[in-house]
Amino acid sequence: MIKKLLLILLVCFSSKAHSQIINEKLVEKHLTTLADDQMEGRKAGSQGIEMAAKYIESEFERIGLDKFESQNSFRQSFSSKDMSLFNVIGVLEGKSKADEYVIISAHYDHLGMKTGEKGDLIFNGANDNASGVSAVLALAEHYKTQNINERSLLFVAFTAEEMGLIGSNYFGKQINPENIIAGINIEMIGKESPFGPKTAWLTGFDRSDFGQIIQKNLEESDYSLYPDPYVNFRLFFRSDNASLARLGVPAHTFSTSPMDKDLDYHKVSDETKTLDLFTVSETIKAIAIGTLSIVNGNDTPSRIVMKKDEPFK
């Protein structure tokens, strides 16, 4: 009996401690670093993105992630359009289903700098998409501490999304899609969603039952997930989830962005000070709760079937 009580106490204590891994302070550290002027807008192929990659690598190292396919670097390097490019990948091996992968991703590149003008020249890309990368890093630390992932988790920072999903496309060619159970992609979670506080929306909601699984897992919480309200924007095809979805992987993008009202989108004014840290932090916590049954092997979302003539842009 005492043993049982102790066990319950231990479980309560540790789950409380773990949920505190994801907090505004940690998120702010990632955000301010990645969206700093020093990173010069993180354009793929630039010096600025080199600094961003180094930060992500150093965080993967600190958290204690493994390298992908026993490479000696967190970088997945390749060249495209005469540029040396690299995705950054960290791995947390699954406890009982190590050959089943769940991908948690966000693009870390952005637009770089304006030329030939005075004033603010740097596209800091705080919302787009330092916020998403902050989520990937926070979730990596959360799951490393939790140690409950029966499936293997791949934390991926994709490059050259802004140039046409180049990094995720390359990544998709290096994997066997049948081993990928789900793709959790995160884009622009720094502003309150059009559905109100503690809500997010998901692209391609009706293309698999991924979104319904998340909704079920969030039922007991005070956070809600909605289908993407901007269907005319075709956002399902415009972020890195698309590179995996076209291979059949149930890969969707979480966002909170009020797309039709965001005056900072792809502007030099997309800076950390315009973001709402509460929204970022609560959304990351909700993604952790919402995806838990996929991470621990209890749920397997249905595959995506693309329509034959569906344009991929």
| Footprint on this chain of Zn ion (rule: CB under 5 A) | 128-129, 187
Half-sphere exposure of 234 (CA within 13 A, CB side): 7
Distance of closest approach, residue 129 Cβ to Zn ion, in angstroms: 4
Beta bridge partners of 224: 199
HEC per residue, the chain: CHHHHHHHHHHHHHHHHHHCCCCHHHHHHHHHHHCCHHHCCCECCCHHHHHHHHHHHHHHHHHCCECHHHCCCCEEEEEECCEEEEEEEEEECCCCEEEEEEEEEEECCECCECCCCCCCCECCCHHHHHHHHHHHHHHHHHHHHHCCCCEEEEEEEECCCCCCCHHHHHHHHCCCHHHEEEEEEECCCCCCCCCCCCEEEECCHHHCCHHHHHHHHHCCCCCEEEECCCHHHCHHHCCCHHHHHCCCCCEEEEECCCCCCCCCCCCCCCCHHHCCHHHHHHHHHHHHHHHHHHHCCCCCCCCCCCCCCCCCC
Q: How many CB atoms lie within 10 A of CB 268?
A: 18
Of 128 and 271, which CB lies nearer to Zn ion in the complex structure? 128
Of 162 and 282, which CB lies nearer to Zn ion in the complex structure? 162
- Structure tokens of 9? 């106490």
Of 107 and 285, which CB lies nearer to Zn ion in the complex structure? 107
Of 31 and 213, which CB lies nearer to Zn ion in the complex structure? 31
Distance of closest approach, residue 187 Cβ to Zn ion, in angstroms: 5
Of 100 and 187, which CB lies nearer to Zn ion in the complex structure? 187
Distance of closest approach, residue 240 Cβ to Zn ion, in angstroms: 9
Distance of closest approach, residue 128 Cβ to Zn ion, in angstroms: 4
Of 36 and 100, which CB lies nearer to Zn ion in the complex structure? 36
Q: At what angle do helices 210-218 and 277-295 cross, to 10 degrees?
A: 110
Of 187 and 271, which CB lies nearer to Zn ion in the complex structure? 187
Of 64 and 164, which CB lies nearer to Zn ion in the complex structure? 164
Distance of closest approach, residue 256 Cβ to Zn ion, in angstroms: 13
Distance of closest approach, residue 303 Cβ to Zn ion, in angstroms: 25
Distance of closest approach, residue 255 Cβ to Zn ion, in angstroms: 9
Distance of closest approach, residue 116 Cβ to Zn ion, in angstroms: 25
